[in-house]
Amino acid sequence: MFRRQLREYTFKMLFHKEFYPSEELEEQVDNFLQEEDELTQEQREAMAARAKNIFDKIPELDEEIAAVSEGWKLNRMGKVDLTIIRLALYEMRYDDQVPEKVAVNEAVEIAKKFGGDSSPQFVNGILAKLMR
């Protein structure tokens, strides 16, 4: 499976989490992964570990996002856009295998696929401010 597909699955898992209490996180991740027939057991385990790592970093990620999102409170951002930004920022800060420009480009592509008409520009604008 290609990295883009794995990234999209991770996005879906993170987005899915937005609608459940954090106490149910592990159960929801397991349920989500069981529904995805295309994934091998190794991919399921890797994605579950990655999602947990991202979940653990959400307070730090949100702090950085809030610092650059002038005029936008996180609770006013669309859940799709915020989830995409969190995923990309996690890759930018904590995944040495993903160059920042790739993380931004992939986030914009996910926004085109899953977000609204203005999502790609919004996601790109926030992430551009977060690039180092």
Q: What is the CATH number of the domain that holds 50?
A: 1.10.940.10
- Say if residues 81 and 117 touch (Cβ distance below 8 Å): no
Q: According to the model, what pLDDT value does residue 98 have?
A: 94
Backbone angles phi, psi at 2, to 5 degrees: -80, 155
Domain that holds residue 113: 3-130
Q: According to the model, what pLDDT value does residue 25 have?
A: 66
- Residue 115 DSSP class: S
Nearest Cα neighbor of 87 from 49, 60, 54 is 54
Q: What is the pLDDT along the chain (132 residues), one digit of tens a residue?
A: 578 888 888 898 888 777 777 676 677 777 777 777 777 888 878 888 888 899 999 999 999 999 999 888 999 999 999 999 999 999 999 999 999 999 999 999 999 999 999 999 999 999 999 997
- Taking residue 29's Cβ as centre, other Cβ atoms within 10 Å add up to 22
Q: According to the model, what pLDDT value does residue 111 have?
A: 98
Number of domains in the chain: 1
